[in-house]
Amino acid sequence: MARSHSVRHQRGFTFIALTCFFLLYLPMATMVVFAFNAGTTVGQLDGLSLRWFRAAWENDRIIDALLRSLTIAPIAAVIATAVATMAALATTRTAPYRGMSLKVAFINQPLMVPEIVTAVALLVVFARIKVWTGYTGLGYLIAAHTAFCVPFAFLPIRARLETMDLTLERAAADLYARPWATFRHITLPLLWPGILAGFMLAFVVSLDDVVITEFIKSAGQETLPTYMLGQLRRSVTPEMNAISTVFLGVSIAVVSLFFLLSRKKT
């Protein structure tokens, strides 16, 4: 029997894959090692120490920025995931009609344009709202992050809906189940892995965002990424490596957690 085609059987695939992984993860591994540097420079390892982790933990500005990031990201991710779920249902659980592809493209539009264009557009809108209302709180950052994160949540949720078998939903309709009951007891449990994946992407994107935050934030609203950017403009110390290492660890933990949860749901 002929062997099925697989890209892994292509000549040079293993070498190219290993090279890509090496180039991708070597800088991260280097950063983690230098986060434990006992010295004061980022380019020379002078022994191992937790000095810079303690310095970051005792820095009130870092803790304040971290708490602000951990306030904005979950709220923006939850709202973006809810909006993306409704949009995905509206573009999959209906008969095809003229203009539906245009709507899907419109939802994904933030992915198609440079992030700085979205940031400038949001800045123009929110600047006028700030003048009219006088409000300068975190609501603008949450709204901006939500708008930017919707397409990231939309893609995995819609992909999950498109691959779901409609047999159970149709059977429920034949048995006179109300649409809400069908969604709650059949569609939602099957869709849950896609929702988790969408939430994870939205959360990580919001937590990591710099460009939109830099344009939208008011004075005293530094998030951890923007604080790190500001510090790197002034002086580079192993403290930045320590913060980045913690950030990396949190990201890996979040991705691993949602991966395990989604596997249990499938």
Listed by start position, the domains of the chain span 60-265
Instruction: Give the model's pLDDT for residue 1.
Output: 44
Instruction: Give the model's pLDDT for residue 149.
Output: 92
The pTM score is 0.82
**How does pLDDT run across 10-25, given as a tens digit for each residue?**
777 888 888 998 988 8
Class of domain 60-265: mainly alpha
Instruction: Give the model's pLDDT for residue 199.
Output: 92
Please calculate the CA angle 24-245-219 and round it to the nearest 5 degrees.
Answer: 110
Closest to 129 measured CA to CA, from 150, 113, 137, 80: 137
Burial class (CB in 10 A: 0-12, 13-18, 19+), 190: middle
**How does pLDDT run across 56-110, given as a tens digit for each residue?**
888 888 889 989 998 999 999 999 999 999 999 888 877 777 877 888 888 888 8
Q: What is the residue-averaged pLDDT of the chain? A: 84
Instruction: Give the model's pLDDT for residue 5.
Output: 64
Please state, in angstroms and as integers, the Cα–Cα distance from residue 170 to each residue in 142, 159, 165, 176, following that order: 38, 19, 10, 10
**How does pLDDT run across 172-215, given as a tens digit for each residue?**
877 778 888 888 888 888 888 889 889 988 998 998 889 999 99
**266 has pLDDT over 60:** no
